[in-house]
Amino acid sequence: MKSFDLGLYLVTDRDLSLGRPLEFIVEEAVKGGVTMVQLREKACSSLEFYQLGIRLKKLLKPYAVPLIINDRLDIALAVDADGLHIGQSDLPWEVARRLLGKDKILGLSVETMEQAEESNKLDIDYIGISPVFATPTKTDTFQPFGLEGVKAVSSIARHPNVAIGGINMNNAAQVMAQGANGIAVVSAISSAENPRLAAEALKNEVTG
Amino acid sequence: MKSFDLGLYLVTDRDLSLGRPLEFIVEEAVKGGVTMVQLREKACSSLEFYQLGIRLKKLLKPYAVPLIINDRLDIALAVDADGLHIGQSDLPWEVARRLLGKDKILGLSVETMEQAEESNKLDIDYIGISPVFATPTKTDTFQPFGLEGVKAVSSIARHPNVAIGGINMNNAAQVMAQGANGIAVVSAISSAENPRLAAEALKNEVTG
């Protein structure tokens, strides 16, 4: 049985980690209360992506925190990750589901209200509402949903949802108040002076 | 049973196709005698890579020319390609073989004599001797093998081999004379004014 908690979802970005190792950020984040970790790499070789995945899987296992791979189904299969997160420019969801199997977590980013409605029909496990606010880490996205958009998607979504994009201590509680099941963050943890404390503080906002 | 002919192996590069569609280059090349096609994409989205793969698979089927995917095991699985070609910075060969299955073609680039020797022990189907000559399309490689290197690798290799890197009409026959089982080309076909005639001429050099 798949069980996961979208509450506080860390999406990694080595470029935003102030030179600190990926494992340090991830372990501190998990100690601070992160409930899911997505390994997102856009520029490295397949070998390096694979090696990072293997290392994070080993690191996360004792914490029972699921490891999700961004975009690359081959890396998810190769490291036997807990799941895959795809966007609208990645492999079609039905291809991903077929190759991933029914026991793995499959997440899909929705970038418009139409895509959110469409996602209700799909055999996926959660949706990412992306982006909530404008953010420098994603430049290829549609208009931000805003708080109103999170509320609208949450009210119609059949799948659990996690909100992503520009979420931090200043707005996390507001985002959750719209009906989101969790928040995904990048720089709010990876660029924090103390990633563990940043995660703890965010977790507090999420759990109220 | 896997059967393939490394004789004249086209590796695609849309940037070197003078603005002509990928399908045009590939179909003309096959009509001119190309025996294998490798879809190589380094910058596009997973969705686009997948869609290109689906189109090439359909195109190549009537010609019974194998479609090999470069690097991306997920794309190879998703489009049910005939095989996967990996380099030294891609997924480890044993991971690729495990996920690809024994019935698919698995090719591996070797960049040094040591790697060529090592490859004899691996459960792969062919090796790429890369690069034979210096080439602007690959910048992350070791010293070119040269004609002597092709001869040395050919003489010790247990797997069939295809030579790649800077091969064209001026040197194809010489490369084959070193013991190569085939030549792989990028610009010699994709950048040719007439890709079909270019393939015919190269095929003539290969088959002597």
What is the average pLDDT value for chain A, to the nearest integer? 96
Establish if A23 belongs to a structural domain: yes
pLDDT of A1 reads 59
Query: What ipTM is given for this predicted complex?
Result: 0.95
Establish if A2 belongs to a structural domain: no
Establish if B2 belongs to a structural domain: no
- Give the whole-angstrom CA distance, residue A69 versus residue A57: 10
Candidates A141, A130, A142, A136; CA nearest to A175 is A130
**Could you tell me which residues of B are annotated as the binding site for Mg(2+)?**
71, 90
Which of the residues B57, B72, B97, B109 is marked catalytic? B109
Residues 55-84 of B with CB under 8 A from A: 71-75, 77-78
Q: How far apart, in Å, do the first and last CA atoms of chain A sit?
A: 28
- Give the tokens for residue B191: 């950048």
Establish if B3 belongs to a structural domain: no
Query: Can you give the residue range of the structural domain that contains B185?
Result: 8-207
- What integer is the mean pLDDT of A105-115? 97
pLDDT of A142 higher than 80: no
- Give the tokens for residue B17: 């196709």
Say yes or no for a CB contact (<8 Å) between A50 and B91.
yes
Establish if A3 belongs to a structural domain: no
CA distance B86 to chain A (A): 10
Q: How far apart, in Å, do the first and last CA atoms of chain B sit?
A: 28
- What integer is the mean pLDDT of A50-74? 98
Say yes or no for a CB contact (<8 Å) between B78 and A71.
no
Residue with tokens 């084959």: B176
Spell out the per-residue pLDDT of chain B, length 208, in tens.
Answer: 589 999 999 999 999 999 999 999 999 999 999 999 999 998 999 999 999 999 999 999 999 999 999 999 999 999 999 999 999 999 999 999 999 999 999 999 999 999 999 999 999 999 999 999 987 665 565 799 999 999 999 999 999 999 999 999 999 999 999 999 999 999 999 999 999 999 999 999 999 7
A138 is catalytic: yes
- What integer is the mean pLDDT of A118-129? 98
The residues near B130 (Cβ < 8 Å, ≥ 6 apart) are B87, B109, B110, B111, B138, B141, B145, B163, B164, B165
Nearest by CB to A45, which of B50, B74, B89?
B89
pLDDT of B140 reads 60
Number of domains forming the structure of chain A: 1
| C-alpha A205: how far from chain center | 17
For residue A71, the chain B residue with the least C-alpha distance is: B46
Contacts of B92 in chain A (CB under 8 A): 47, 50
Is residue A37 within 8 A of residue A207, CB to CB? The reply is no
Say yes or no for a CB contact (<8 Å) between B48 and A74.
no
pLDDT of A119 higher than 90: yes
Establish if A1 belongs to a structural domain: no
Establish if B1 belongs to a structural domain: no
For residue B51, the chain A residue with the least C-alpha distance is: A91
CATH code for the domain of B111? 3.20.20.70
**Is A89 an interface residue toward B (CB < 8 Å)?**
yes
